Structure 1
Amino acid sequence: MFQKIAAILIGSLLISIGINGFLVPHHLLDGGITGIALILHYYFNFPTGLAMFLLSIPLFIYAWFYKRTYFFNSFLGLIATSIMIDWLTPLRTQFLLSIYISVILGGAIIGIGVGIMLRYKTSTGGTDLLAQFISDSISVNIGVIILIIDGLILTAGFNMLGINAFLFSSVNICIIGIITSKIAKPNIFLE
Structure 2
Amino acid sequence: MDKILNEYLEKIGKHLMPMSTPERIDIVKEIKSVMLELQHNGVSSEQIIERLGDPKELAKAYLGEAISKNSTFSWHKFGAVFAFYSYAGVNGMFVLPIISILSITFMISGVIAPIGGIIKFVGYLMGYDIAGITFEIGAFTATRPMQYLPFSIVSGVLMFLLGKVLWKLTMKYIHAISQKKIKL
Please, what TM-score do these two structures have when normalized by structure 1? Answer: 0.24
Give the helix-richer structure, 1 or 2. Answer: 1
Please, what TM-score do these two structures have when normalized by structure 2? Answer: 0.25
* Largest Rg, 1 or 2: 2
Larger RCO, structures 1/2 (Cα 8 Å, 6+ apart): 1
